[in-house]
Amino acid sequence: MRKLISTLALIVMTGISQAQGMPPEVARLVSAVSSVKGTTQVEIEKTYLPDVKVSDFSLPGASADLPIAALRRSKGALLDEQLLSIHFRIERNETGLKALEFLSWWVRDQSRGGETMQIRSMGLPPMIGDQKQLGSTLRFTIDWFYAGKSRNMQEVLAAMDAKAKELELAVKLYAAAF
């Protein structure tokens, strides 16, 4: 199953630092999300969805993090559809909640404008054996179902750069809200 998950870039950053060796478009999108005050640990992952089978949704591991309900509803992926997952965590305070609210609004606005995006939360089981996990595994992801010429990586990177620019503008326009 792990082979099915094709990673464009998996970047873990806790600030707006540059990602070494990553395409500038990917680094820019990570930086844009990281620039929302209250976000932490931003990661971007790309999955080629036609390789994912509906029967795999019950498997543990990478398939468990996919937007299962959306994919079940459509009985799988569109032709050549990529899932660009923008994972992030938030600070455990009011600033983090404002970051989550801001990104939730931004994704909603993007969806209303025609982008196939959603935001959702993810958590792991409350306990594994004797080890308590509850309260320490919560993260969020922006699911961007990209169905352009998704095998053309230059097009995907250009789309990521454009999204980064849009988010940078929104952060700048609404800076007073924070």
Query: Looking at residue 3, what is its pLDDT?
Result: 36
User: What is the Cβ-side half-sphere exposure of residue 34, based on CA atoms within 13 angstroms?
Assistant: 20
Do residues 147 and 116 make contact, with C-beta atoms less than 8 angstroms apart?
Answer: yes
Query: Looking at residue 41, what is its pLDDT?
Result: 96
Query: Looking at residue 150, what is its pLDDT?
Result: 58
| pLDDT less than 70: residues of the chain | 1-20, 149-151
Query: Looking at residue 44, what is its pLDDT?
Result: 95
User: What's this model's pTM, rounded to 2 decimal places?
Assistant: 0.85
